[in-house]
Amino acid sequence: MKLAKAAFAATLVSASLIGGMSSLAAQDMSNPSRRPTLTITGEGRATAVPDMARFSTGVVSEGKTAREALDANSKAVAEMIAALKEAGLEPRDIATSGFSVQPQYAPPKKDSTEPPRVTGYQVQNTVSVRLRDLARLGDLLDKMVTSGANQIGGIAFEIADPSKLEDKARVAAVEDARHQAELIAQASGVRLVRVLTVTGNGGVRPMARAMAAPMMMKADSVPVEAGEAEIQASVTVSYEIEAR
């Protein structure tokens, strides 16, 4: 009499938590040496006050001819760049980021079929600035306007050396994954045996936060709030599990 062979398949149990997803993968019972696994994605964050800033500044000039507008613009931008260097900025932190010459047209008359008429020209020259001493930002913005800049924008706050903050975010992500795994294992009646794999998910991501941070600046400088910089990281961890 021949014995019948039976195959047993385990079910897949899945669970999820806010901030990460997890799955409980079942073993093939025909291979008892393989344990099921629990896979978790953990999120980590770390924050710090920025210590440097980037912004763009420039001059828009107009003239009846392109030459007239360009001459006026070049003179104003040269004075603006000289003011930046006078303020102690290094040449590597000052870079031209935009330049344009555009004709200006008179508004068309009602029901007119005449082609647009050029009334003058506009020249725009924009410079990107990196400031490594954040406490001087308000004073520098004020100096830019005084030196002839009529366009300032794109202010972004950064951390000069984010490596320590990135490390903290990664450690927090691993701890979050472990915390989620322990919760799910306890609720599922299983035990975490060991870590099988740890995978970083695309590195770290800087995030802006609207939290004011005090900055020591001159009383007559432009008021500036640097806020708080946040770094986010995520990791996926797979655990080997077994029944309790």
What is the b/e burial string over 205-225, where b = at least 16 CB atoms within 10 angstroms of the residue's CB?
A: eeeeeeeeeebebeeebbebe
pLDDT of residue 177: 97
pLDDT of residue 93: 97
pLDDT of residue 7: 32
pLDDT of residue 201: 77
Which residue ranges of the chain lie beneath pLDDT 50?
Answer: 1-30, 209-219
Dihedrals phi, psi of 113, to nearest 5 degrees: -105, 5
Domain boundaries, given as residue ranges, for the chain: 13-49+162-214+229-243, 52-158
The pTM of the full predicted model, rounded to 2 decimals, is: 0.66
* Average pLDDT value for the chain: 82
pLDDT of residue 140: 95
pLDDT of residue 18: 33
Residue 171 buriedness (CB in 10 A; 0-12 / 13-18 / 19+)? middle
Cα gap 198→16, rounded to integer Å: 18
Cα gap 198→39, rounded to integer Å: 10
Contact 147, 83 (CB under 8 A): yes
Asked whether the domain spanning 52-158 has the same topology as the one spanning 13-49+162-214+229-243, the reply is no
pLDDT of residue 222: 87
Q: Which residues contact 29 (CB under 8 A, 6 or more apart)?
A: 8, 9, 10
Residue with tokens 């400031």: 131
Contact 198, 174 (CB under 8 A): yes
Instruction: Please give the CATH topology (third level) of the domain spanning 52-158.
Output: Alpha-Beta Plaits (3.30.70)
pLDDT of residue 27: 44
And the tokens for 98? 């935009």
pLDDT of residue 178: 97
Q: Cβ–Cβ contacts within 10 Å for residue 88, how many?
A: 12
pLDDT of residue 34: 76
The domain made up of 13-49+162-214+229-243 is a member of CATH 2.30.30.90:
no
